[in-house]
Amino acid sequence: MWNTSTTTQKDKITSIAIGCFDGVHLGHKKLISHLDDFGVLLIIDKFKGKKLCDNEQKVFLANKNLIELDFESIKNLDGREFLQILKKEFINLEKIVVGYDFSFGKNRAFKAVDIEKLSGIKTIIVDEFSIDKIGVHSSKIKEFLEQGDIKNANLFLGRTYSIKGKVIKGQGLGKKELFATLNLKCDEYFLPKNGVYATFAKYKNKSYKSVSFIGIRSTDESFAIESHIIENFDEKVKTDDAIELFFVDFLRQNQRFDDLKLLKEQIAKDIEKAKKLLG
C-alpha cells in the first residue's frame, strides 16, 4: 500500500499535502507552502498516462519528501476508513492540506470540507490558483504543450518544462551529412507537440544550448526525439546515458525534406534562431 522515498520517520511527520502533484506547478506550490518543517507530500496517483514529472523531480521541485499511497488499495474504502488509515500511519499528524476540489472515499463521496469534521485534524483547503483568470491545472499545462505553447506552459508551471530520456542509437546520418544529434528514448513523459524547439540539454549536471526535434523524421519516416548541441560539447555520450531536455520556446512546425541539402540549410537557420532565444 505504501511506498516511501523519505528518510523521515512516519511518527515525525506532522503535516501532509495530499494529491497527485503532477508537474508540481504553481497551484501545487500554494499547497506545499502550508506544510511545516516535518511535512511531506502524500502522493495518490491514479493517473496512468504520460506525466509532467517523475517522483525524483517532485521531491526536488517541492523541496519536500514524498510518500506514495497506492490508489488501487484504497479506492473502495469509505472516507472515514481512509482518514482512520492516515491517523494510524501518521500518529503525530496535526495538519492536512488539500486543494479546493479534493474528494476522497469510494465513488469520491467525501469532499475537502469533510476531512476536519470526520478526523478532528486541522485541514487547510487551498483555493484555485489562477493566472489571468485561468485556473492553473496539470490538464491546462498539457493543453499548452499540445499546442506548442511553451511560454504559457512554463508560466503556469513556474519553471522550464523538461523531460528525461536515455540516449539511444540513431541513424548516424546527422553526424555524417547534417548536424550531430543525441537521440533519446522517453516513454513516461508528456511530450510537447511535434516540432522544433530551442532547448537546453542537461548532461552530467551541466546544461548546453541546443535545438531539439520531436516528430517523424523525413529520412526514415520514424518517430524521433533528437537534440543538437549548439555550443562546445566534447563529452563522450554513451547509449543509455541520461539526458534532460528543457523546453524554452517553439521554433517551427516540422517540414518534410527530400533533399538533405535543404534540410541542412533549415537546421542551420534553426540554430541561429535558437542562439538568439537562448542568449
Q: Per-residue confidence of the chain (279 residues) as pLDDT tens digits?
A: 555 555 568 889 999 999 999 999 999 999 999 999 999 999 987 767 899 999 999 999 999 999 998 888 888 899 999 999 999 999 999 999 999 999 999 888 999 999 999 999 999 999 999 999 999 999 999 999 999 999 999 999 999 999 999 999 876 654 556 688 899 999 899 999 999 999 999 999 899 999 999 998 877 788 999 999 998 887 788 899 999 999 999 999 988 877 788 888 888 999 999 999 998
Note whether 224 and 215 are within 8 A (CB): yes
Output the CA–CA distances (angstroms, integers) from residue 216 to 49, 221, 226, 279, in the order listed.
22, 6, 11, 28
Among candidate residues 97, 118, 133, the one where a domain is terminated? 133
Residue 183 and residue 65 share a domain: no
Is residue 257 situated within a structural domain?
yes
> 91 and 22: one domain?
yes
Please tell me the pTM assigned to this model: 0.91
99 vs 33: CA distance, rounded Å: 12
Q: Which three cell numbers stand for residue 193?
A: 507537440
Distance of CA 35 to CAs 15, 30, 76, 206, Å?
Answer: 6, 10, 28, 31
Residue 139 lies in a domain: no
Number of domains within the chain: 2
Reported as half-sphere exposure (CB side, CA atoms, 13 A), residue 175 has a value of 7
Which H/E stretch holds residue 15?
A: strand 15-19
Does one domain contain both 123 and 180? no
Range of 30's domain?
2-133
